[in-house]
Amino acid sequence: THQWRGVIEEYRDRLPVGEHTPVVTLREGGTPLVPAQVLSERTGCEVHLKVEGANPTGSFKDRGMTMAITQAKEAGAKAVICASTGNTSASAAAYAVRAGMVCAVLVPQGKIALGKMGQALVHGSRILQVDGNFDDCLTLARELSEKYPVALVNSVNPARIEGQKTAAFEVVDALGDAPDIHVLPVGNAGNITAYWKGYQEYAVPSPQGHAAVSSRTPRMWGFQASGSAPIVRGEPVKDPHTIATAIRIGNPASWEQAERARDQSGGFIDEVTDRQILAAYRLLAAQEGVFVEPASAASVAGLLKAAEQGKVDPGQRIVCTVTGNGLKDPDWAVAGAPQPVTVAVDADAAAGSLGLA
């Protein structure tokens, strides 16, 4: 019998850990790569979804957090801090529990989904709601980590990128080679940076002497929400807005790295509107059976937009990462949906309501 051991143990020889490193894990990673039938038909391609909502705290952040908290523990840290639109804080809070550390989180007031707030609370983190946006939270978190004995676990911490690159390894391991195109939502731009690093590392012999695993690297396509699209605009957005609160970010920390991933891979970074995001969100749930949070649907919205623009040649192998679980932000599932019908405990009445009779 084999149980997935978490990304550090599964990819130990490609991560910055030593024999005696105290690994802090919830056995994250090993997430499903699900063939997407409807998206494949629509695009004439072979489309797969990397379902990162299947991670222990419901988002891809766990891959980076196992590395960041492990390194913090190895360095003797007693407390960690992060700025977050919700998922990073949920993940940091859970891994800090595993490590026996104090976790402080800074979130933009009123702009994080209820499920994520609930996670940070129930894992016992210390939450400060900041009168500002994510970018302000990150500025504050950086300053606190410079002045006080608390380790910063945002994706500006290189350990986060190291852990998150394992998602690219998993895609190659599952498909046998890199896809033609990899599509991602872009917020603070850590994840597109991490995937590109992972794909590049798998395409060359490893420092430990392993042969290259893949024969090539994919083109990286990133999508920001239109109201929060600094990389597309070419300048920071002062007051970012979008219903996809996870990617409501106006000045991404890994901006240059994201541009490098785009340019070195021959890809692009574009924007999708909230309307396009919500349409993709509904399509994923209603037609692919995959329930994601709105920000996650930006990748799929972007693929559909590119296909409509004729940018997607048929026959390609495409992976879209869907970054977080739909349960984190269920308001969007309920909003606009028909109200459930109430019936008595009566089979005939129930059958009538269901249209079976």
Closest distance of CB 324 from ligand F0G, Å: 3
Closest distance of CB 199 from ligand F0G, Å: 15
Closest distance of CB 87 from ligand F0G, Å: 3
Q: Is 168 assigned a ligand-binding role in the annotation?
A: no
Residue 349, token pair as written in the block: 């009445």
- With tokens 């992976």, the residue in question is 319
- With tokens 């957090």, the residue in question is 65
d(CA 70, CA 49): 28
Q: Is 266 assigned a ligand-binding role in the annotation?
A: no
Cβ contact 321:181 at 8 Å: no
Helices (H), the chain: 7-10, 37-43, 61-74, 87-99, 114-122, 134-147, 158-164, 166-175, 190-202, 230-233, 255-265, 274-283, 297-308, 331-334, 347-354
Q: Is 194 assigned a ligand-binding role in the annotation?
A: no
Closest distance of CB 197 from ligand F0G, Å: 12
Q: Is 189 assigned a ligand-binding role in the annotation?
A: yes
**163 vs 185 by CB, closer to ligand F0G:** 185
Closest distance of CB 59 from ligand F0G, Å: 5
Amino acid identity at 15: L
* Interacting residues toward ligand F0G by CB under 6 A: 59, 61, 84-88, 155, 185-191, 246-247, 293, 295-296, 323-324
**12 vs 241 by CB, closer to ligand F0G:** 241
Displacement of CA 132 from its chain's centroid (Å)? 23
Write out the H or E segment, with its range, that includes residue 206: none
Q: Is 187 assigned a ligand-binding role in the annotation?
A: yes
Closest distance of CB 325 from ligand F0G, Å: 9
d(CA 69, CA 65): 6
**46 vs 259 by CB, closer to ligand F0G:** 259
**240 vs 324 by CB, closer to ligand F0G:** 324
**214 vs 296 by CB, closer to ligand F0G:** 296
**292 vs 306 by CB, closer to ligand F0G:** 292
Cβ contact 137:84 at 8 Å: yes
- With tokens 């020889």, the residue in question is 13
Which residues fall in the annotated binding site for pyridoxal 5'-phosphate?
Answer: 87, 187-191, 323
Which residues fall in the annotated binding site?
Answer: 87, 187-191, 323
